[in-house]
Amino acid sequence: MADTQYILPNDIGVSSLDCREAFRLLLPTERLYAHHLSRAAWYGGLAVLLQTSPEAPYIYALLSRLFRAQDPDQLRQHALAEGLTEEEYQAFLVYTAGVYSNMGNYKSFGDTKFVPNLPKEKLERVILGSKAAEQHPEEVRGLWQTCGELMFSLESRLRHLGLGKEGITTYFSGNCTMEDAKLAQDFLDSQNLSAYNTRLFKEVGQDGKPCYEVRLASVLSTEPILDSEMNSKLKSYEFQGSNFRVTRGDYAPILQKVVEHLEKAKAYAATSHQEQMLAQYIESFTHGSIEAHKKGSRFWIQDKGPIVESYIGFIESYRDPFGSRGEFEGFVAMVNKAMSAKFEWLVASAEQLLKELPWPPAFEKDKFLTPDFTSLDVLTFAGSGIPAGINIPNYDDLRQTEGFKNVSLGNVLAVAYATQREKLTFLEEEDKDLYIRWKGPSFDVQVGLHELLGHGSGKLFVQDEKGAFNFDQETVINPETGEQIQSWYRSGETWDSKFSTIASSYEECRAESVGLYLCLNPQVLGIFGFEGADAEDVVYVNWLNMVRAGLLALEFYTPEASSWRQVLKSTGDVAGGRALYEGYAAVTDAPPECFLSLRDTVLLRKEARKLIVQPNTRLKGSEVQLLEYEASAAGLIRSFSERFPEDGPELEEILTQLATADARFWKCPSETPSGQA
């Protein structure tokens, strides 16, 4: 059987998101708004399959066909008759639930591949003897032939997401290296194009020169549209001895369905800000314009305190090995008023608390842009995983001048981070009860500080296209060197583009550090209702949780590549920033910590990240119904089997066609294509 690092255990935790009460309190028009936004998010989330691995779309299509023809209980009878044990069938259910939860066959947290924990030949018998195979024998056999080997393969390069020899990614063609990624970023910067909604495909021309296709995500392909700001960008370029061609149309049929439901949601928008926001998102997804998405994000920031909150687009760059391309993500949620009131008090205290941070005032924004900060109960979160909190948009220019929003996902916190005592590792016995009692409350405090004052603090020093600076070069002193500022961001440069591979994890570490630092502040603890001994326990458990999390994170370190798979901003000092980052991120066997040896212990005792079952919404006449599912692998599978009742087979066909159209980019020159679906 496979190394336990690459399987999901049969006893993996599964929890259901509870949003019933928050949904019940919505007005009929708010429910319709939430429903159509949810549909848009779920459709868009399918693009993540195409952003993960070459085989992920085929695996998804195969599993969806199986469980649409037979639900988990019906397929179980067939599997047992084919000779599977109960444990092996449960392993298959867990694998399927994992693919659906991560939108692919790589873990969203840690970027490690996971494979079915049962013999390949047994799974093949189940699949080829299933009702789905009876109904569509050629299609099911073709899907299995295309993805079966890759589903189980743990060839070294396929074990992790990465670029070149370091792993597999579909953000780049298989022949791209980190040097190609850097060249492409320089090209994008030169054309003032964002990488967020792009993928990069490299081919070698007849003259031996590399030719790069920068493909934008959009409904439209190459046909010109009057007055579109994207038209002038869609052409060929010569750049530093290489040919670049900017095209669009990536994920087109998927984004078409996203746009259709955003149009329907517009009819139920509660404010003009929401209408204008959705209009710009539609423009963005139709034409491939990040500028339009930025405009939509401006309206989103201005839409203060909505009952139904949402955001959608190519957002987080964690899984791009270069750190610039955004994974599709969409969420819809309802406000939790009680917890939101505490966050409002924290926002009101933010300007005062920012002064407590250990850097000079010149390193903060000239004016703190008071954000929305709400606690939400999630109805839908489509993508590769569900976070505990969000601070968005990620566009640096907007964050510096327009502001941002913070959200804490309350019903996610309630289930995803609950811990059973018997599964608590690496803690003293006397700390375990304290940890269980205070982990939730301390995490509320940490998430609040992390999102609002971690991600929300700090200023980027920028020189604009006219040469003007947003800081005083004469008077601002670097506290690390005692000298004037020597480096800054030029026009068009961003945190992600400059710090690339370490940008996301670096920023998360910065936000966590702010949370740890400010959780010691009595004023902060008082806002959340903690005083005296309780406040001391919250602080202790918050620090204890962070130390334990650091130890558990050794699971995500790859000794072979000396790299982490996931995990000095203002000045844009990349060299100094990397040196600091790499110093703290080094994993060696140097005493007294001996982290490399500790990693073996962590792997032996690791607990798999929980799977979360989400509800569906269903439109019946003019009424929106909430469909909930049991907290089990089978329940999660049922939720996906019922997610696309009108067009499930069509979507699977779309996904496999899109994957097949680009399959050559991940084939070795000597490799012949497998059977295609």
Token reading at 380: 């839908």
Give Cα 19 to chain centroid, integer Å. Answer: 21
Give the residue ranges of DSSP H helices in 153-249.
178-190
Per DSSP, helices labelled H in 478-567 are: 495-499, 503-518, 522-527, 532-552
- The amino acid sitting at 350 is A
Cα dist. 85→82, 90, 93, 121, 256 in Å?
9, 9, 13, 14, 43
Tell me the C-alpha distance between 215 and 658, whole Å: 13
- For strands 405-409 and 372-382, give the pairing: parallel
Within 13 Å of residue 530, how many CA atoms lie on the same side as its CB?
20
SS3 string of 59-113?
HHHHHHHHHHHCCHHHHHHHHHHCCCCHHHHHHHHHHHHHHHHHCCCECCCCCEE
Confirm if 38 and 379 have CB atoms less than 8 A apart: yes
Question: Which ranges of 267-417 does DSSP label H, i.e. alpha helix?
Answer: 272-287, 290-302, 337-348, 350-354, 396-401, 410-416
> Would the annotation count 78 as a binding residue?
no
Side chain identity, residue 514: V
At 460, which amino acid appears? Answer: L
Residues 6+ apart with CB under 8 A from 28: 622, 623, 624
Of the residues 451, 480, 560, 646, which is catalytic?
451
Q: Is 450 a known ligand-binding residue?
A: yes
For 33-60, b where at least 16 C-beta lie within 10 A, e where not — what string?
A: bbbbbbbbbbbbbbbbbbbbbbbbbbbb
Judge contact between 219 and 256, C-beta under 8 A: yes
Distance CA 356, CA 98 (A): 43
Q: Is 451 a catalytic residue?
A: yes
Q: Which residues are annotated as a binding site for Zn(2+)?
A: 450, 455, 508
Q: Which residues are annotated as a binding site?
A: 450, 455, 508
Active site residues: 451
